Amino acid sequence: MNDARIVEAILFASDAPLSPGEIARADESLDEDRVEAALASLKAEYDDAGHAFELREVADGVQLMTRPEFAPYLERFDTVPRSSRLSGPALEALAIVAYRQPISRIEVEYVRGVNSTGVIRTLVERELIAGVGRGEGVGRPVLYGTTLKFMEHFGFPSMEHLPRPEELPVILRERAPLAARPEAPDEEGQGDETPALDDEAALAAVLAHADQRPESPE
């Protein structure tokens, strides 16, 4: 059977990105080189024919997805799967983790100026971040980093495709030692008056646009 059709069937049925190596396990005749050739053929075929779907590199793999320009039509249907959108505070905390990982909850709170226990728990439950180690400080706090699901959710082929650090607010680029400070206030701003970051919205802006798209694998 034609390699491209085999690869197409696998991607059509998969609800997650697959690497060429994973696709090659489908048949003894396939190897990574043949899969990559089939992927190139499919991509050219879809682009030349103007199909409503495309092959997209996501999370170190490839996924068959509806083209972004068709998102407004998909949003009218409840039967089209979509990932639930993250809140502003969650996006803000996620941006900090993405650019400063590995990072502890206390360090996230230092940047945000508010208690982040709830949003960190939400991001862990959504499998967008995970514990990747332990810090050296008192109590050896959990250090968090982003996951493959983070890249899949936001459509990043790899972490190298995030905006460059020099394009971000200075506080994300410079990892200064944590200074002694009062306990951070909670999400509603209650508690000690630790000043929040002036440009909170800017921290999450690099992710917020990607969080607006429906989840639309073909």
Copy the structure tokens of residue 9: 């069937």
Distance CA 160, CA 36 (A): 21
Q: Where in the chain is the domain with CATH 1.10.10.10?
A: 3-75, 88-165
Q: What are phi and psi of 92, to 5 degrees?
A: -60, -50
Residue located via tokens 């630790």: 194
Q: CA angle at residue 144 from 135 to 65, to 5 degrees?
A: 160
Asked whether the predicted pLDDT for residue 185 surpasses 50, the reply is no
User: Of 6, 21, 93, which Cα lies nearest the Cα of 62?
Assistant: 21
Indicate the CATH number for domain 3-75: 1.10.10.10
Query: What does the pLDDT read at residue 196?
Result: 36
Query: What does the pLDDT read at residue 207?
Result: 58
Indicate the CATH number for domain 88-165: 1.10.10.10
Please compute the mean of the pLDDT values over residues 38-47 and round it to a whole number.
92
- Report pLDDT digits (tens) over 65-101: 888 788 788 878 877 766 667 788 888 888 888 888 8
- Report pLDDT digits (tens) over 104-123: 998 888 888 888 888 999 89
